Amino acid sequence: MKVTIFKYEMKQLKGTITIWSISLFLVILLILPVYIGMMSSADTVVFEGFGDNPMLEAMGVTLEVIATPIGTYAFLTFYVFLACAIKGMNMGLKMITKEYMQKTADFIFTKPHSRGKVFISKIIAILTSALIIGLIYFLASWAGMVIGAGDNYDFLIMTQIAFSIVFVQLIFAALGLFVGIIFPYIRAPLLVATAVAFVSYVTGSFSNKMGYTALTYLSPYHYFTSAEIIKTGSYDIGFLVLSFFLVSGLLGISYHVFRKKDIIIVS
């Protein structure tokens, strides 16, 4: 890793990290206590209304779970996953495509740092960014839970659900890096990131309902389903291992291609 490149990338990411951190902080801090209050005082009519919501089934969350403060938090976090997937994939894509689209690849790759070191510096910048956003989300979630539920929740489960957004960001960032290295001239990375994240979200969300459980594997959101964390008190080890191999595989292939790829700047 090269500190100079890492520092430069962090400087570039500073703006988006700030915006995302503030947004997620405010959203969860303001909405969570309101939802917890609403759900804990809801009558049966409200629950019957929720009972028709196909997303609950897609998320694997039951009405009993969602009525609890931690269940409500899990329900809201599932939507945050989508935003984090878009953020992660966009970050991974842009990390590569910006050098080609701004035609700065010649600048960075003619300096005395191997492409491998440049790549690792970029990965560490992504990891740091995901961790900062995850940490801010965790702190906001904690504050929201204290305001909305007092002591009536499991701190460890909440912590695990909160940090799930780091894993979701990293999986999609690895996918973004991979796609960016194969197709470095993507002009609209945000559009591609949104499309991929949304298709993955929909595919996974309705795989259970449609009976195609294998499709769940195409949706990294489901590797960290809150229902499983609430039920067992920890992440699903199988999916955690799968995530590790998925990220390692994508980064390994990307690293190999990145080192060997010809830098051809299109005028």
Partner 1 sequence: MSKKAVEVQGLAKYYGKQCGIENVNFTIEKGEIFGFIGPNGAGKTTTIRTLLALIHPTSGSASIFGKDCIKEAEAVAGDLGYLPTEIYYYENMTALELLKYTADLYKVKANDRINELADKLNLELKRKISSLSYGNKKKVGIIASLLHQPKLLILDEPTSGLDPLVQQTFIDILKEDNKKGMTVLFSSHVLSDVQKVCNRVAILKEGSVIDIQNISELREKGFKKVELNLNEPLPDGLFEIEGVADFRQSSNQVSFIYHGDLNLIVEKIALLKLNDVFIEEPTLDEIFFHYYE
> Can residue 19 be called a binding residue for partner 1 (CB under 8 A)?
no
Residue 212 CB coordination number (10 Å): 12
Burial annotation 181-192 (CB, 10 A radius, 16+ → b, else e): beebebeebeeb
> Can residue 18 be called a binding residue for partner 1 (CB under 8 A)?
no
Place of tokens 């910006």: 98
Q: Count the helices and strands in the chain (H runs, E runs).
A: 11, 0
Place of tokens 């699903």: 236
CB of 93 to partner 1, least distance (A): 18
Give the x/- contact pattern for partner 1 in 233-262, rule: CB under 8 A. ---------------------------x-x
Q: What end-to-end distance do the CA atoms of the chain give, in Å?
A: 31
| Residue 105 or 158 with smaller CB distance to partner 1 | 105
> Can residue 44 be called a binding residue for partner 1 (CB under 8 A)?
no
Whole-angstrom Cα distance, residue 56 to residue 126?
A: 31
> Can residue 4 be called a binding residue for partner 1 (CB under 8 A)?
yes
Residues 105-124 that bind partner 1 (CB under 8 A): 105-114, 117
Give the x/- contact pattern for partner 1 in 171-190, rule: CB under 8 A. --------------------
Q: Contacting partner 1 (CB under 8 A), which of 103, 156, 198, 244?
A: 103
Whole-angstrom Cα distance, residue 211 to residue 201?
A: 16
| Residue 76, H or E segment | helix 69-101
Residues forming contacts to partner 1 in the complex (CB under 8 A) are 4-5, 8, 102-114, 117, 260, 262-265, 267
